[in-house]
Chains A and B, each alone.
Chain A
Amino acid sequence: MSIEHRDDTGDRFGMWLFLYTEVILFSGLFILYAVSLSRFPGDFAQGSHQLNIYLGSINTIVLLTSSLTIALAVSAIQMNRIRQCLTLCGVTVVLALVFLVNKYFEWSAEISHGIYPGSQHLAEMGAGVSAFFNLYYFTAGLHGLHVLIGGSLIGVVAVLTARGKITSERYTLLENSALFWHLVDLVWIFLFPLYYLIL
């Protein structure tokens, strides 16, 4: 049953629809953020000041750079530069790992201070601070899960490229993975100011 269904535009179209569902998925958490912020502006600022802005900034730079490298990888495959494409994919995966390791240290520090969902310490700090950190953990956690999935996806795509399954003639899978990675980046671009900067 070898139905030849080649339809690159269709594949990209489907990916954009999927990205839209991801936006909606995160928007549920953003709605919760907006409502809680309007109820507890003071507590939210207090919670925000306890986050480590340096680790957050480093992670922002890391993710932005990784978005650049994956975009360059797509350009490289279009120009049939396989080695360059593989290197760029590799750099993207490494940057994804750097992000997660950074996140690990950031969260360990916070948890060691007794700040985690359901903790006694958090309960004592007041309802608004509690809400802030609960949302922070769930939103950043869901985003971290997406970093993990996106990084793995790019790893798989790199292997397929090395095996010659993805070529300059047929690179929609790489392109779609890159689109997913840009979304992961984009979500962070909203998370970072909302939780670390503006309050």
Chain B
Amino acid sequence: MGSKTVETLPEATVLFAGDSGDGMQLTGTQFTLATAYAMNDLATLPDFPAEIRAPVGTRYGVSGFQLHFGSVDIRTPGDDVDLLIAMNPAALVVNLDRVRPGGTILVNSNSFEAKDLNLANLDSNPLEDGSLDKYRVIQVELTRLTRETLKDSDLNQKQIDRSKNMFALGLSLWLYSRPVEPAEQWIRSKFAKKPEIRDANLELLKKGYHFGETTEMFVTRYEVTPATLPPGRYRAVQGVQAMAMGFVAAADKSGIPITYGSYPITPASDILHALSRYKNHGIMTIQAEDEIAAIGMAIGASFGGCLGITGTSGPGVALKGEAMGLAHITELPLVIVNVQRGGPSTGLPTKTEQSDLMQAYYGRNGDAPMPIIAASTPGDCFEVAYEACRIAVKYMTPVVLLSDGYLANGSEPWLIPDPDSLADFEVQYATEPNVEVDGEKVFHGYVRDPQTLARPWAKPGTPGLEHRIGGLEKKDGTGNVSYDAHNHELMIRLRAEKVKRVQQDMAPLEIFGDEDAELLIVGWGSTRGAIEAGVTRARNAGLKVASVHLRWVCPLPADLGKVLSGFSKFLVPELNNGQLVRILRDEFLLPFEAMNKIQGRPFGPSEIARKIEDMLG
């Protein structure tokens, strides 16, 4: 490995940033793959603009991919960047505040001409004006080196310039001692039919790697030794992939075919893309004409005895509200996935936010509660998808599954589960009349299971169980239309009680940290990694603190009150303007303090740790 010094690091955070056409997502993904091969623990955060190809060189066109990896337990994509690779001035200035003081910034020095600075709205050149003094800046002539490497290739200038991300990838792989083979393999299969592009990319990757070794800019390269993960077979998984596989697992274990109705929307479309490939796994997908049609088709499938699922993001859920109410009153199993993004309205389509807990809780006409489950890591999307399906069928209820942009696009090493280890998922369809009226056996659609309060699921095609359901209030028992005043109150209460009984299926809450602390942090969803990493930092600094994370947000777990009673201070960090915190105050009348970040970015552990210090200091 030449004459360079090798320094071993416990963890590192790298951020690739450039134009949305610079291939930064791809570069990040390939670096992630190499990191997985190096057996580090990792977490990623892709961050891209809503525009597909925003004007070149502008600040709003910057696309980034952040990766945190280490030999230690990695819980977040990292809050302080150690290495920023900036392909142009806009990518540099947009991301500068994320680089830790003393961190390294690698720039493409060929892209700091007057016109580039102008596009990035800069009056002076940051490479010369002293604004980067607290960082270590490495200037690499990426454009020139790329052109020189490919001077004999048949590619045109534009194609050549677009390949410079491969040079950057090769260089960063060298810098962190990552294997180069996974990227080589990927290039070979991706461009198998375009040999000139394949060869150009392979050449650049290699040149980038060798450049690190030969240039005198780097005296040190880094090494991050393998993490001590629990033993087993692993793969890197994104939240969307994990969720799609969770649904496949539900279809497989229950034997019920799944119908997934969806209308394309960022960042939920990738679930549709993944599931549409799984036709031989009992999954049928329909790309509907709109959000309402998507849920209508899923409800139709559930009425037919299949399991309907619909996936979308916040604006789509707003359109589905009426149909969610229909699923609630007809008491059909249904899963509604919301991959949350910055709101309101169209908001920030590509940025993450815990935007829609209130919408999931209250966003329907009438009293129409439904269980709400929230994923906490990309890999956890698998488990919550499976659990959402299981509960929907067991309790005959629509279930809201909350994910978010960070979980959907982020990835982590995932211990591949054994299908046999999944919870039992058995389905009982009604097969015969369930009531005797005047000596005659008849079927009533709203006779309830005493334990779950679920009504029977009678599949069309079953003789003798013909029945009608619908959105008008149901008579208790028979399910016939009823306008009776007292029956309406009874049914509202029964449906709410049924949702509450999902508590029976929840695992006991686990307290993370010091059970005898004063301060308890209560979180939900994708903030789990940041909260627990923040708690760990604060505890390492000598503070006593604990956290508890909610998987089921509605109904709240039965043992939450008991957990809360052991603490006197409460902090509720959320990536919104305060949603769970209001629900908790309403339910428990305790002094929950809100901690809110509404920037389209996840919390970093240091933010949580600082807040803990403030509260206990």
Do A and B originate from a single complex?
Answer: no
Residues of chain A having any CB pair with chain B under 8 Å: none
